Structure 1
Amino acid sequence: MTATVTSIAAYVSPPASVFLASIPTGAGADVHVYRDTDGSLSSECTGCGEYAWTLRVTHEFAQEHATTCRRLPHPLAA
């Protein structure tokens, strides 16, 4: 009898983005701000669905979007 050895590579998923803030929009939606695994920031609007990840994303960038977005919250995001 011959034993077979199978190598199993363990996959470790990267840490999830960390939620930092929720900025309300004038229409009742929210802009969620996250710190990503690489240290950058991203934002996602529950109204218009805009996802932003660029070097320009800052809390001020997210606040500006929250100020100008007039879309109601998306039913699945509430």
Structure 2
Amino acid sequence: MTVTPISSFAPFPGPAARTEAEYVSPPAPVRLSRIPTGGGADVHVYRDSDGSLSSDCTGCGEYAWTLRVTTEFAEEHATTCRRPPRLLAA
């Protein structure tokens, strides 16, 4: 019986063999919707580069992330958040 090490098929490239292309940041999330809250703020829903959804609230600052392909999680937050929009840092 002959044993052949796996590394002989696809050797791992060392740091010197890596290219700059390997260190490119993923694409920016794409904003899908803006849902108004009861306090006058907005919940922004984004599709991330991996296909998941995330959201952030301009009122309370809550950030949420989900693998679900619906925006229900953001809609639920928008119905309960009563904080006014936060002031942007100068």
Greater fraction helix: 2
Aligned residues between the structures: 72
> 5 Å matches for 1:56-75?
58-75=70-87
Tell me, yes or no, if structure 1 residue 55 matches structure 2 residue 64: no
Q: Quick one: percent identity of the two aligned structures?
A: 77
Give distance in 2, aligned partners of 1:18 and 1:46: 17
Runs ≥4 in structure 1, deviation > 4 angstroms?
none
For CA contacts below 8 A with separation 6 or more, give which structure has more relative contact order. Answer: 1
Measured against aligned partners, the alpha-carbon deviations of 1:24-74 in whole angstroms (never above 9, x if no partner) come to 001100000000111000010000000001335831110110000000100
Note the aligned Cα RMSD (angstroms). Answer: 2.2
Alignment partner of 1:35 out of 36, 42, 47:
47
| Structure 1 residues not aligned, in runs of 5+ | 1-6
What's the TM-score once normalised by structure 2's chain length?
0.69
| Structure 2 residues not aligned, in runs of 5+ | 1-16
